A and B are shown apart, each in its own frame.
Chain A
Amino acid sequence: MAPIFAYIAHQSGVPDDSALELAAAAKKIDAATPATAIVTGWGPELDAVCASLSTSYGQIWKIAHEALAYPNAELVRQALAGVLPPGCIVLVPHAHFGMDLAPGLSIKLNSAFVSDAVGIEGIDGATLKLVRQEFGGQVSAHVRCDISSGAVINVRPGAFKPIESAGAGGLVIDKSSAVGPLASHRRYLETVVAASGDVDISKEDVLVSIGRGIQEQDNVAIAQELADAMGAVVSCSRPVVDAKWMPKSRQVGSSGQTVKPKVYMACGISGSFQHLAGLKGNPFIVAINKNPKAPIFQVADVGIVADILEFLPELTNKLRAA
């Protein structure tokens, strides 16, 4: 069996939640092949990450380099391509850094690449059996990957239940000297923190959230009127921000705000995983969508198949009359 590596994302000396999820994903590939964590970075933060991984991984490869102190997947790719053995399987979290790093890494390692895996069904000879989602989660696909020359697998954050292998033993192996000189045609400058908006949706108890189903900017008023009648605030999904109908500060999702309301009204929102990733604290979810197959109905508590442009004004009228 090919060795399995898990690329560990981290920030401020703390491993990302995906670190334990990748350990779980590795077990699904082959329970008998313990995965090795591979961590890149610099200084005391890197050492802190390695130390905290020792309860969940038996072996941790540490790659320390001053140039790796800043987020630049171009340099990390070079470093990994220099130390990973041919034919290995590399698991990478499918977030913004993994999207930067992994497709090119598969080319440099001359291995196969599977993006955004949500399930792993095991190995059959030289074939790894996986599950992906397509079309915004409306359908799933069984995927077969030939791993005879290795594979880079991007794993969706949150798709695997994290595991800690108690007493994994965590041996840290310093591989820094195996990395040659690192040079890149891309230079990290700075991280610009999002401007805060007029309303902090992360602190609201009741959200009327709108998606593509709102159809045009003028219709946002329909949601605002309902929110006013409920004493709630309007939030939205990504397509509404892309269309410039609402400011970015109102967006719920992995690339927007993380919210934890008591009640969440998902109106004309299909329910992509990026959107749901921003919804925490187990709220009571009401989904209103005209597509009965919308993925949002799988996670909502209560569902209503209706056109929000007709349904929301009627609900508003009812509440105003009460």
Chain B
Amino acid sequence: MDILVCARRVPDTSENEIALNAAGNDIERDDLVYSINEPDNYAVEEALQLVDKAGGEVTVVTVGGEDDEEILRREMAMGAQHGVLISDDAFQGSDGKGIATVLSAFVKKGHYDLILTGVQAEDGGAQVGGMMAAMLDYPFASVVNSIEVVDGGKLKIGREIAGGNKEMHEIDLPCVLSIQTGINEPRYVGMRGIRQVASATVPTFSAADLGIDAAAVGAAAAKVKRVDYFVPTLGKGAEMLQGGQEEVIGQLVELLKAKGGLK
């Protein structure tokens, strides 16, 4: 089974506090730590476990620039056989549909049995996988938290629904699945692993290489645009306990007593 995983490099929210820049039109991007979008990493691990059982190869693809190549190498260090960068000035300012258009064109160039994405990106909206499936006329399932190979042509999948319950479906290959975090335990990647793939070739494809009409992607084609960022004020906010730690703990214990928090 040959598997394509679509991944993205994003600011890592476990490493960064996301704040507005001075102009208020973007987030403060200086000193941000970037990493692979967390659900995408689970998708790569799932792909690796599937080819371990069923055979085949894993390709990780991203749409972006030179800086984004680092996540491809990281996932190759995890065990993915191929990393592919799709890069072109024409893609600048694409909305979700634009990115899905680019990735669909790449899918049509190859022969993949299964296409995985992360369930959503830190700054995105759980959209590219479902759009690609519709463009390719492949079946799609989102929020997938288990995959079992039934036979060569089918998978049995679980979808995470409300209350910790799970919806089971059978789905024909080729298909597109969006992978939920927690589906597996992604393997650790050390510096040694990263060094081993440092000289591996990462092919780059342009719009022309994939036969993409530049008018169908990029800012001009984008129907959805982010204008700016802001920090909303919601409600009155918490009463912040101030003072030294001893003092704060004293105040908190009194509050917990009053509110029935201590037995």
Contact = CB atoms under 8 A, between A and B. Distances in A.
B181 to A, nearest CB: 5
Interface in A96-144: 96, 99-100, 102-108, 112-116, 131-132, 134-136, 138-144
Interface stretch (A40-48, A55-63, A167-175, A236-244): A236-244
A140 B142 contact: no
B260 A262 contact: yes
A125 to B, nearest CB: 14
B248 A304 contact: yes
Contacts of B23: none
B260 A191 contact: no
A113 B97 CA distance: 8
Given A115-B126, A258-B163, A304-B240, A318 B17 contact: no
Nearest to B259: A284
Contacts of A315: 249, 252-253
A141 B228 CA distance: 6
Most chain A CB inside 10 Å of its own CB: which residue of B125, B228, B231: B125
A32 interface: no
Contacts of A96: 142-143, 159-162, 167
Given A135-B123, A262-B259, A304-B240, A106 B131 contact: yes
B228 A303 contact: no
A318 B253 contact: yes
A83 interface: no
Interface in B62-80: none
A15 to B, nearest CB: 15
Interface stretch (B85-93, B133-141, B192-200): B133-141
A19 to B, nearest CB: 16
B207 interface: no
B227 to A, nearest CB: 4
A74 to B, nearest CB: 6
A287 to B, nearest CB: 6
B189 interface: no
A179 interface: no
A216 B148 CA distance: 29
A192 B156 CA distance: 13
B257 to A, nearest CB: 9
B192 to A, nearest CB: 22
A188 B17 contact: no
B239 A302 contact: yes
B134 A143 contact: no
A39 interface: no
Chain B interface mostly: mixed
Interface string B172-210: 100100100110010000000000000000000000000
B235 A298 contact: yes
A90 interface: no
A205 B259 CA distance: 11
A251 B181 CA distance: 14
Contact of A107 (B134, B238, B239, B255): B134
Contacts of A293: 17-19, 231
Contacts of B140: 73-74, 100, 104, 186
A215 to B, nearest CB: 10
Contacts of A286: 252, 255-256, 261
Nearest to B257: A322
B122 interface: yes
Interface of B: 11, 13-14, 17-20, 27, 95-97, 100, 119-120, 122-131, 133-135, 138-143, 156, 158-172, 175, 178, 181-182, 185, 223-235, 237-241, 245, 248-250, 252-253, 255-256, 259-263
5 contacts: A136-B122, A188-B167, A300-B237, A303-B241, A306-B248
Interface of A: 71-74, 77, 95-96, 99-100, 102-108, 112-116, 131-132, 134-136, 138-146, 149, 151, 154, 184-194, 205-206, 212, 230-232, 238-239, 241-244, 248-249, 251, 254-258, 262-263, 265, 270, 284-287, 291, 293, 297-306, 310-311, 314-315, 318-319, 322
Minimum-distance CB pairs A-B, first 5: A115-B125, A231-B263, A103-B130, A303-B238, A194-B164
Given A136-B122, A186-B169, 20 more contacts: A71-B167, A96-B143, A99-B119, A99-B126, A103-B130, A104-B131, A115-B124, A134-B18, A136-B13, A139-B229, A142-B226, A154-B125, A185-B172, A187-B169, A187-B171, A230-B262, A238-B182, A256-B163, A299-B235, A299-B238
